[in-house]
Amino acid sequence: MKYLLIIQGENSPELLERLLRVCRHRGFSVQKISGETTENEKSLHITLTVCSDRPVSLLSKQIDKLFGITQVVAISQEQAIRASA
């Protein structure tokens, strides 16, 4: 299954690394990534497309626990298609 993750965090030099490590370790492969810093580099906005046989809640809850992450929203691909249709 493919999922879209929309993630907001307080920017720090290692936040992206931290995030990608959790994705890999919890069994999700990253298929697409885009991100940018905002507000004088104070916050980081990232969208990830990930793929896994596991339910996305396993990943989103782990990301949510990371210190510095302020928001994470997970959308399954089907939901995303329905929303854009």
Partner 1 sequence: MNGANFIVQALKQQNITQVFGYPGGAIMPLYDALYDGGLDHLLCRHEQGAAMAAIGYARATGRVGVCIATSGPGATNLITGLADALLDSIPIVAITGQVASNLMGTDAFQEIDVLGLSLACTKHSFLVQSVEQLGPIIEKAFQIATSGRPGPVLIDIPKDIQLADIAESPLFEQLTIEQKLTFPLELSLIRQAKEMIKIASKPLLYVGGGVGMANATQALRNFIQYTYIPSVCTLKGIGAIEHNSEYFMGMVGMHGSKAANLAIQECDLLIAVGARFDDRVTGKLEEFANHAKVLHLDIDAAEIDKLRIADLAITDDLNEVLPALEVETYISAWQKNILTMKQDFAISYNHPGKMIYAPALLHLLSEMKPADTVICSDVGQHQMWVAQHMFVDRPENHISSSGLGTMGFGIPAAVGAQMARPNDTVIVVSGDGSFMMNVQELGTIKRKKLPIKIVLIDNQRLGMVRQWQKLFFDGRYSETILTDNPDFVTLASAFDIPGETIVIKSQIQGALTRLLDSDGAYLLHVSISEEENVWPLVPPGAANDKMMESLQ
Burial of 78 (0-12, 13-18, 19+ CB in 10 A): exposed
Q: From CA 7, how far away is CA 74, in angstroms rounded?
A: 9
User: Segment 19-38, which members bind partner 1 (CB under 8 A)?
Assistant: 21, 25
Tokens 């299954």, residue located: 1
Token code pair at residue 8: 């907001």
Count of residues touching partner 1 (by CB under 8 A): 15
58 interacts with partner 1 by CB under 8 A: yes
> Among 29, 41, 51, 65, which residue sits at the site for partner 1 (rule: CB under 8 A)?
65
67 interacts with partner 1 by CB under 8 A: yes
18 interacts with partner 1 by CB under 8 A: yes
Three-state SS at 36: strand
Binding residues for partner 1 (CB under 8 A): 13-14, 17-18, 21, 25, 55, 57-58, 61-62, 64-67
